[in-house]
């Protein structure tokens, strides 16, 4: 893997991750250096203690641009800073082209290169900014019409390397307490850019969900003397009814008390706190396991169905919180589609009181995910 770090015209950092060591990344950002204005603040809910991020500048973020104006596609040779409408701020079309792929018709995108493997850059419309953490965009592939499930094992391995490297770098930033690498896929879960990409949030606090996990870890340790992550994995592997896929180094299962209709947790067999601590064997096996799970997600509801919307994210140990040594790195993947043509909307009990009601028994979900395995 070769890493090349550069800057966009407005000063934001952009990083290329290439599978080839001889890749050269010297394309400059030829767009005008438009100012980036952010206004991010963190407030605490006095009753719950939860952190809430106020980010009013995100009201103006790019919203469902046409495919020929995607800011995450590569820039096309011959494209001009002005572009069709003269502002030069957003992006080019598929592979940087204009409407119907006309060479040079598209605007220059967020990515100056004419092709790339994996790219990470600072979000132009970050939720966390101004000393309150950092938000980055991860482009998995230059192919606008692909998805993560379409990647090869080698491409997925490169994304894993990028996630790991960014976790290491962001963990060193002043004030950062937790790093979360995640992907939202599908307009149904709020995705505003169709190009296959994810995000990384470097939080300046421990997230409420993780705080609850840490509390459960501590209580379980006090009560049993054992580690809760270890016990959960051991129970699922021994029971087997909710196991979706098991390798030599990873097990994917539907959790016993799944919140969502189809939800899968992926655990390494050797507990580690974060991506940096994964060993070579687990890294080597991950792409095949994860890609198979994503491909099964797209087959859950049968042939002819649109791609399954999902949220997938790495839960890593906070950097300095008590209980870090007990925390277990794991990936959580779920969809809000509950059956063909129907979404699960959060009702009053769920939105108002955070008490989830799941229409699909976890054992039935696991059985369905086993049935749609690749042949």
pLDDT digits (tens, 9 = 90+) for 154-169: 999 999 999 999 999 9
Q: Are residues 268 and 144 in the same domain?
A: no
Q: How confident is the model at residue 307 (pLDDT cuts 50, 70, 90)?
A: very high
C-alpha span between 331 and 310 (Å, rounded): 13
**What is the residue-wise DSSP string for 345-366?**
---HHHHHH-----SS-HHHHH
Helices (H), the chain: 153-170, 208-224, 228-239, 280-297, 348-353, 362-371
What is the model's pLDDT at position 88? 33
pLDDT digits (tens, 9 = 90+) for 328-351: 999 999 999 998 888 898 889 898
What is the model's pLDDT at position 99? 32
**What is the residue-wise DSSP string for 75-105?**
PPTT-BSSTTTS---S-BSGGG--GGG-TT-
Active site residues: 197
CATH number of the structural domain spanning residue 321: 3.30.428.10
What is the model's pLDDT at position 103? 36
Nearest of 2, 307, 35 to residue 147 by alpha carbon: 307
Q: Are residues 246 and 105 in the same domain?
A: no
> Which of 30-44, 139-153, 252-266, 357-371 bottoms out in mean pLDDT, i.e. has the lowest?
30-44
Q: Are residues 280 and 340 in the same domain?
A: yes
Domain span including residue 121: 2-203
Looking at the whole model, is its pTM more than 0.95? no
Among 203, 225, 256, the domain boundary falls at: 203
Q: Are residues 214 and 163 in the same domain?
A: no
Q: Are residues 218 and 172 in the same domain?
A: no
Among 177, 203, 229, the domain boundary falls at: 203
Q: Are residues 19 and 168 in the same domain?
A: yes
Residue at token pair 């893997």? 1
Q: How confident is the model at residue 82 (pLDDT cuts 50, 70, 90)?
A: low
Q: Are residues 315 and 186 in the same domain?
A: no
Please tell me the total count of domains within the chain: 2
Q: Are residues 47 and 73 in the same domain?
A: yes
Q: Are residues 348 and 241 in the same domain?
A: yes
Q: How confident is the model at residue 320 (pLDDT cuts 50, 70, 90)?
A: very high
State yes or no: pLDDT of 106 exceeds 90.
Answer: no
What is the model's pLDDT at position 91? 37
Q: Are residues 53 and 185 in the same domain?
A: yes
Share of the chain above pLDDT 70, in %: 89
Q: Are residues 127 and 229 in the same domain?
A: no
**Tokens at residue 106, please?**
């598209």
Q: Are residues 233 and 315 in the same domain?
A: yes
Strand partners, 250: 268
pLDDT digits (tens, 9 = 90+) for 240-299: 999 999 999 999 999 999 999 999 999 999 999 999 999 999 999 999 999 999 999 999
Among 184, 203, 222, the domain boundary falls at: 203
C-alpha span between 333 and 313 (Å, rounded): 7
C-alpha span between 83 and 93 (Å, rounded): 11
Compute the mean pLDDT over every residue in the chain, rounded to the nearest whole number: 89
Q: How confident is the model at residue 225 (pLDDT cuts 50, 70, 90)?
A: very high
**Tokens at residue 262, please?**
């189809």
């Amino acid at each position: 893997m070769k890493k090349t770090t550069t800057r966009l015209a407005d000063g934001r950092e952009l990083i290329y991750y290439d599978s080839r060591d001889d890749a050269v990344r010297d394309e400059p950002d030829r767009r005008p250096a438009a100012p980036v204005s952010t206004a991010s603040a963190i407030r605490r809910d006095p009753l719950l203690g939860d952190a809430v991020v106020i980010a009013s500048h995100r009201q103006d973020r790019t919203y469902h641009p046409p495919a020929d104006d995607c800011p995450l596609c590569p820039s096309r040779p011959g494209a001009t800073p002005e572009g069709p409408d003269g502002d030069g701020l957003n992006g080019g079309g598929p592979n940087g082209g204009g409407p119907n792929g006309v060479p040079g018709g598209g605007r220059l995108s967020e990515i100056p290169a004419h092709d790339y493997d994996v790219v990470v850059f600072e979000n132009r419309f970050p939720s966390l900014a101004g000393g309150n953490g950092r938000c980055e965009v991860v482009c998995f592939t230059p192919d606008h019409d692909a998805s993560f499930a379409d990647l090869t094992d080698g491409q997925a391995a490169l994304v894993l390397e990028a996630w790991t490297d960014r976790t290491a770098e962001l963990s060193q930033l002043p004030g950062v307490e937790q790093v979360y690498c995640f992907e939202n896929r599908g307009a149904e879960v709020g995705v505003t850019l169709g190009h296959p990409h994810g995000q990384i949030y470097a939080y300046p606090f421990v997230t409420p969900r993780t705080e609850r996990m840490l509390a459960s870890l501590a209580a379980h340790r006090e009560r049993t003397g054992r580690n809760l992550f270890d016990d959960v994995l051991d129970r699922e592997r021994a029971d087997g009814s909710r196991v979706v896929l098991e390798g030599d180094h990873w097990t994917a299962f539907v959790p016993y008390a799944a919140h969502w209709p189809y939800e899968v947790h992926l655990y390494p067999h050797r507990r580690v706190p974060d991506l940096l601590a994964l060993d070579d064997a687990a890294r080597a096996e991950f792409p095949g396991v994860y890609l198979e799970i994503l491909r099964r997600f797209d087959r859950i509801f049968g042939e002819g169905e649109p791609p399954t919307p999902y949220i997938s994210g790495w839960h890593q140990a906070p950097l300095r919180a008590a209980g870090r040594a007990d925390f277990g790195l794991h990936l959580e993947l779920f969809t809000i589609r509950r059956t063909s043509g129907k979404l699960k909307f959060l009702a009053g009990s769920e939105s108002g009181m955070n008490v989830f009601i799941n229409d699909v028994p976890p054992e039935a979900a696991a059985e369905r995910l086993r049935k749609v395995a690749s042949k």
